[in-house]
Amino acid sequence: MSEVSTTIELPSVQSAMVLAGDRESNLKLLSQRTGASLVLRGQELLISGTQKQVERVSSVVRSLKPFWLEGKRIEEADIRTAFHALDTHRQDELQDLHQDVLARTRRGDVIRAKTFRQRQYVKAVLTHDLTFCIGPAGTGKTFLAVVLATRALLANEYERLILTRPAVEAGEKLGFLPGDLQQKVNPFLRPLYDALYELIDGEKIPNLMERGIIEVAPLAYMRGRTLNNAFVIVDEAQNTTPAQMKMVLTRLGFGSRMVVTGDVTQTDLPPNQDSGLGVAQKILRPVDGIAFCELSTQDVVRNALVQRIVEAYEKHQK
């Protein structure tokens, strides 16, 4: 099969740098995914290979134009999604995905869904009072929920933001740590705080918590309450018992929205204990008004190594 080549002229050195990625990691990924050869010379990207290989790489590079044209960082998840859009004829939807900004971090970085399933998850949260999101580590389940909740809180759509998760030990014993109950469970709640600090000035969070506008608490604190006019996020829900899951779901009050996130493959419950998240999946799927979103390893948006780790564990378990 004869070899062909084409050249894509990039508008600036910055565009060339972000397209290439750190140590040309993006070019290497494009080459691995297609078999084409990519060489960057200044602002010119030379692509060579078979006709099909060259056309495939060219299409993906052009679909990433909103990033490299403005010098925005291109991550592996963006490239994977671009290939998925090309293979499923969803290029128009890909442009919408790029343009749909959810929020900005305190540093000014844009936050948006990076995959089609993440975008479906965002849409589900915005249109349902109760949404379950189930998927492996690194898929943005909790972070996207906190982003949407914080955005809604700052827009005065809700009076309170409540972040909760079960205080189940992941192999460590924390019972002998010093401090009161809140201090003992804070290590369990750290991931929720981390997401908040990305969006809200750290100096303002204690004041918001003192006024009860933001509450970060273990799941046990939810018992007996009715949560009205609140955006509630239940994190690490795979570590709830069926009774705890039923308890927290029935706390949902008027004018409230709830998002439940978890990874059914990473439960820290005793071996003979059913996961409340798994039971809820079976019982509540037919219930009208509840959305179930499932993310996969293809939606991992952390370090690319995380995706390979998750896939390796899934292969081993199968």
Nearest to 64 by CA among 106, 115, 98, 35: 98
Taking the model in full, what pTM does it have? Answer: 0.84
End-to-end CA distance of the chain: 39
* Strand partners for 154: none
Q: Could you tell me which residues come within 8 angstroms of residue 282 by beta carbon, excluding any fewer than 6 positions away?
A: none
pLDDT tens string 83-124: 999 999 998 889 888 888 898 888 888 889 999 999 999 999
For the segment 299-304, the average pLDDT, to the nearest whole number, is 72
Per-residue confidence (pLDDT) for residue 171, from 0 to 100: 42
pLDDT tens string 43-62: 999 999 999 999 999 999 99
State both tokens at 189.
């709640």
Residue with tokens 């199968």: 318
Pairwise CA distance, residues 47 & 37, whole Å:
6
Nearest to 229 by CA among 207, 217, 212, 246: 212
State both tokens at 211.
């006024």
Model confidence at 70, pLDDT cuts 50, 70, 90, reads: confident
Per-residue confidence (pLDDT) for residue 283, from 0 to 100: 96
Per-residue confidence (pLDDT) for residue 248, from 0 to 100: 95
Torsion angle in degrees (nearest 10) through CA of 212, 151, 288, 164: -40
Q: Highest mean pLDDT: which of 184-193, 194-203, 261-270?
A: 261-270
Per-residue confidence (pLDDT) for residue 51, from 0 to 100: 94
* Strand partners for 5: 48
Pairwise CA distance, residues 66 & 31, whole Å:
21
Residue with tokens 């705080």: 193
Model confidence at 197, pLDDT cuts 50, 70, 90, reads: confident
Per-residue confidence (pLDDT) for residue 184, from 0 to 100: 57
Q: Could you tell me which residues come within 8 angstroms of residue 198 by beta carbon, excluding any fewer than 6 positions away?
A: 105, 106, 143
- 80 C-beta neighbours (distance < 10 Å), count: 20
Q: With contact defined as beta carbons under 8 Å apart, do 4 and 48 qualify?
A: yes
pLDDT tens string 139-150: 999 999 999 999
Pairwise CA distance, residues 280 & 155, whole Å:
31
